Structure 1
Amino acid sequence: MKYTVVGAGAMGLRYGLLLQEKAGLDVEFVEPTAASLEKIHSQNDQVWQSRDQKGRHQVPVKIFSPEEYEGDPDVWIFFMKQMQLADTLKRVAPKFKKHQTALGAMNGMGHIEKLQEYFDDEHIIGGTAMIATILNDYGDVDFMGKEGAGSSVYANLTEQRSAVMDQLQEDFQAANLNPSYSDNFMGTLLTKVFFNAVENSIATMFQSRMGQLMAYDNFLEGIARPLINEAYDAAEAAGITLLESRDDMVAQVDYVSRVANPLHFPSMYQDFVKGRPTEVDYINGWIADLAEKNDVQAPNQRFVTNLVHLAEEMRQYNPPVNKLAPEYRNAQ
């Protein structure tokens, strides 16, 4: 199949480059962020790719603005920030065709409803990816972890198997995205959201790597578990079953922090230190809203949402140090 990735950020570049390089597929990029598009064009339509800050090299890409794009992909892959998606969809909408499928594997919640404004339910796939990636700068991506590290899960909105899903699974496996299939749509999406409600938000507030959170010996039981319990209470009240149990989720936080990606700075941290708004409203805030809609409470989720927003405001008084910047890394 032919794929078009909308959003040439960390995850968009990782998916697109792996599909292009490992699976040998026809991949194009649509980049709505003008500064990013200009930077990649200035690099002769090439992006820098490295792994764990090593082996940096340039890879050619086919990249366009939403307005100039004329391709006809089988699958659109959306990797935008939640707050950017609505405007991007309006700009790309004239290019959409009835036979095309939209895949949303973005952080947080809110994107599926936006995709439904343009695509039939039969042509919407939701996904989650446990694949650590860092965008050093526009057009400069760093794949974290060993080759083939990470995993991803995909579900059709209809929760019915399809030919497109079958081919996508084959293509993504060839691209080292380690995909699996789920027939539980909301459970699939919320598994990643609930994980991010712990790791992303807490690491961002304390400007830490995931592994550094474990320096507090009560992190799992004193911080992670209360947030996870509230999230699961909200899901159960809404009639949603997760892919993992509560204990499994706590164990996943432990494993990712200690073993899988201890050196990783999550995407919310990357936005935070670069002065951008975070997606906390679409993660912790969304969970708190889900709880309240279903007559349960999630005070810890609401409190964390407000603390992240407070940290955003405090940047004007205490500018964060971007520990991903080359000048910081070189000084260490």
Structure 2
Amino acid sequence: MKFTVVGAGAMGLRYGVLLQDAGNEVDFVDGWEPNVEKMHEQGGVYVSRDHEDKHLVPVNVYYPEDYKGDPDCYIFFLKQMQLADMLKRCAHFFKPNQYAFTCMNGMGHVEKLLQYFKPEKVIAGTALVATVLNGPADVDFIGKRGAGTMNLANYTEKPDDFTHRLVAELDKAQFHPNLTTNFRGTLLAKVVFNSVVNTLCTMFEMTMGEFADYEGADEMSRQLIDEAYDVCERDGIQMINTRQEELDSVNYVSKVANPLHYPSMYQDMHNYRPTEVDYINGYLVKLGQKHNYNAKTHAFLTHEVHLAERGKQRELQQLQSQAVAAR
């Protein structure tokens, strides 16, 4: 099968490299110039696993404006706030027969993809897979090979032959895909997970394992999960997990699968980038407002993250001023 990964960041590289290792033809399209130029310069991307065995993996990477490939399927891995612009830059090479697959964090991306792809060609999912981008063209896969799980579903909730072929290739690449026929419930399960782990670990600058070891972690998680499920139930969403199963997932991933991992939201905050909190906790708040339900804990956390972002921007400005003064 031929794939084109749009967004050669941490997760895009992990999916693309492992699908390439499994025997598929894979191209990458990316708009971050330092990343693309570094890959061109060194002939690929440096890949490590748990900070060890760093080695160069040859990859084909292009800017959107230069790409002329014709894949069976595009895999989208970008930040929510980056997707609309990247889709515009890529629109010239999209074709009606091609599929779009994504496991992006948060909510809002599916509506954007549907502006370019037919509903029956859109497949979306969630990935409990930990990966870190150390810098341009340098990625670290966290966890042993085969670590992590994922769920996916067709937008139409009607799997076709291509969907089953995609699942087979993802399974060969050891992503352990679970195909469901519950589109919104599948995507919201990860939103709820991230609304707990990503946000709290970011606010308190700790790994997932450090959070899970806190004696009050379950109580904090339950409060956020219950509030999120109250929102989803009011919107008629049938969740794929029970509330207890969602808590069990938070604990398993945090304590067993990836205890040393800092979530992607923390990585964004630490590197002075905007976070996706509006597409995670903020999304749940807005969904609740549609039904006159006040998801007040999620609203409070959303505000907290935005305040922390302001603090990080002030810190960045101070660092930049010090650098200028030192010249």
TM-score, scaled relative to structure 1: 0.94
CA distance in 2, matches of 1:152, 1:252: 12
Do 2:65 and 2:90's aligned partners in 1 also have CA atoms closer than 8 Å?
Answer: yes
Question: Within the alignment, does 1:2 sit opposite 2:13 as a pair?
Answer: no
- Partner residue in 1 for 2:97: 99
DSSP 3-state at the match of 1:141: strand
Matched letter for residue 247 of structure 2: V
DSSP 3-state at the match of 1:67: helix
Question: Within the alignment, does 1:264 sit opposite 2:255 as a pair?
Answer: no
How many residues are aligned here? 316
CA distance in 1, matches of 2:279, 2:148: 23
CA distance in 2, matches of 1:66, 1:256: 35
- After superposition, the CA RMSD in angstroms is 1.0
Gaps of 5+ in 1: 320-332
Matched letter for residue 8 of structure 2: A
CA distance in 1, matches of 2:239, 2:63: 37
Matched letter for residue 171 of structure 2: Q
DSSP 3-state at the match of 1:278: coil
Question: Within the alignment, does 1:211 sit opposite 2:199 as a pair?
Answer: no
DSSP 3-state at the match of 2:127: strand
**CA-CA distance at 1:171 after TM superposition:** 0.6
- Partner residue in 1 for 2:275: 278
CA distance in 1, matches of 2:315, 2:226: 33
CA distance in 2, matches of 1:286, 1:48: 35
Question: Within the alignment, does 1:304 sit opposite 2:301 as a pair?
Answer: yes
Q: 2:245 aligns with which of 199, 223, 248?
A: 248
Matched letter for residue 191 of structure 1: A
CA distance in 1, matches of 2:122, 2:24: 21
CA distance in 2, matches of 1:216, 1:179: 31
Q: 2:157 aligns with which of 147, 156, 159?
A: 159
TM-score, scaled relative to structure 2: 0.95
**CA-CA distance at 1:316 after TM superposition:** 4.1
CA-to-partner distance for each residue in 1:186-231, whole Å, 9 max, x for gaps?
001010110000000110111110011134201111x111111111
**CA-CA distance at 1:318 after TM superposition:** 5.2
Alignment map for 1:219-258 (pairs within 5 Å): 219-221=217-219, 223-258=220-255
Counting aligned pairs with the same residue, the percent is 52
CA-to-partner distance for each residue in 1:37-73, whole Å, 9 max, x for gaps?
12211212x1000100000000000000000000001
CA distance in 2, matches of 1:295, 1:98: 40
CA-to-partner distance for each residue in 1:125-149, whole Å, 9 max, x for gaps?
0111111111111111111111111
Bigger helix fraction: 2
Question: Within the alignment, does 1:47 sit opposite 2:50 as a pair?
Answer: no
CA-to-partner distance for each residue in 1:133-191, whole Å, 9 max, x for gaps?
11111111111111111111110000001011010011111111111100000001010
DSSP 3-state at the match of 1:207: coil
Matched letter for residue 180 of structure 1: N
